[in-house]
Amino acid sequence: MVLGIETTCDETGASVVTQDEEGRGRILSNEVLSQIAQHAAYGGVVPEIAARAHVESLDLLVARALDRAGCKLKDIDAVAVAAGPGLIGGVMVGLTAAKALALVAGKPLIAVNHLEAHALTARMTDRIAFPFLLLLVSGGHTQLLAVRGVGDYVRLGTTIDDAIGEAFDKTAKMLGLPYPGGPHVEKEAAQGDPARFDLPRPMLARQKPDFSLSGLKTAIRIEAEKLVPLSHTDVSDLCAGFQAAIVDVVVDRTRTALRGFRAAAGQAPTALVVAGGVAANEGIRRGLRRLAAEAGLKLVAPPHELCADNGAMIAWAGLERLSLGMIDDLTVAARPRWPLDRLAEPSPTGKA
C-alpha cells in the first residue's frame, strides 16, 4: 500500500493504492483538487499561483486520502511523489512534503517521474505486459515510446514544437473559447463540419514518427482572421477541422512508430497505450482504436479521471518501483526536466 503525491502542474493530488491478488491496482482513495478557477483569468497556468495553491491544500488532501482509504500513515509501505518533470515550485512543494512524511513514518521514499506514472497507468487498470507502445499526449508532452519495463524506455518520436494539448489550448484561445481549451474544442468539434477548411496534416508519412503542430495552429489563425467576426458555426467548423487534422496526424505518426517498435524493443508490442490529459479526447481514442484493430492490438486508454494528473498514478508507479527495490534517499532533488529515455537526444521543445 503506497501513498502517492502529485503537484507537478495545476492539480494537487493524493492517493492510496494497493495491489490485488491478480496484480491489478486497487485505488483506495484518489483526492484531486484542480486549480482551473485560479488560472482561468490568465488563460494558462501561472507557476507562482500553482505553487501557492499546492502549499495551501496538500496537507488536507493527504489527510483526506488516508482517511478515505481507511488507514493511517504508519500503515502504508512507502511514500511516492512526483519529483519532476514539471513546474519546479510545485514539484518542490510535493517533494518536501513527501520527504517529511517518509521521515516521520520511517517509510521508504520513492521519487517518481511524472511521465513514467502516466506510462504505467495502463498496468494499474489493465495489467498489460511489457513491452508496449505508448502515445503520451498532454499539455506539455507529445511522445511515442517503447515501454520495455519500469525505468526502461526508448523514445521513438516527439514533437519538434508544440505539444498536442498546447495546440488545443492555443487554438481555443484564438477562437475565444474558455480555458482549459481542449475539452471546449472537442465539444465544438462535435457540432462542426471537419471538411469545410483545407487544413494541413504536418509530418504525414515522414520516416521518423515525430510531430509538428505549429503549422496547423497557424493555419487555423489564418482561416479565423479571414472570417472575423466569427459566427458560432465558424468556430465549430474550425474546431472540427482542427481536431480531424490532429487525429489524422496522431494515427499516421503512431502507425509509423508501430513499424519501428520491434527494432527498439526486440519484439512486437503487447498493446497500444494512450495516456496523458489529451488521452481523454474521444476523437483521438476512436482513431487509435481503428489503428489498433488494423494492427491486431488492444488499445488501452485509462478512464478519463486517470488521464489528467492525479495521485493514484504516482502511487501505482511507486508500487511498481517498490516491488523492484527501486527506492530513493532523502537527498533526491526536484527536477524541472526529466526525460524517460535518458539516451535520447534532448527534446526540441526542451520540456523533457
pLDDT single digits (tens) 252-276: 999 999 999 999 999 999 999 999 9
Check: CB of residue 270 under 8 Å from CB of residue 129. yes
User: How many C-beta atoms surround the C-beta of residue 131 within 10 A?
Assistant: 24
Q: 16 - beta bridge partners?
A: 3, 29
pLDDT tens profile 153-192: 999 999 999 999 999 999 999 999 998 899 999 999 999 9
Check: CB of residue 298 under 8 Å from CB of residue 326. no
CATH 3.40.50.11540 fits 130-297, yes or no: no
Mean pLDDT along residues 61-65: 98
Q: 142 - beta bridge partners?
A: 137
pLDDT for res 154: 97
**CATH for the stretch 2-121+305-323:** 3.30.420.40
List the chain domain ranges: 2-121+305-323, 130-297
Q: How far, in Å, CA of 323 to CA of 314, rounded?
A: 14
Supply 194's cell numbers. Answer: 471537419
pTM of the model: 0.94
DSSP string, 126-166: H-PPSPEEEEEESSS-EEEEEEEETTEEEEEEEBSS--HHH
Number of H helices, E strands in the chain: 11, 10
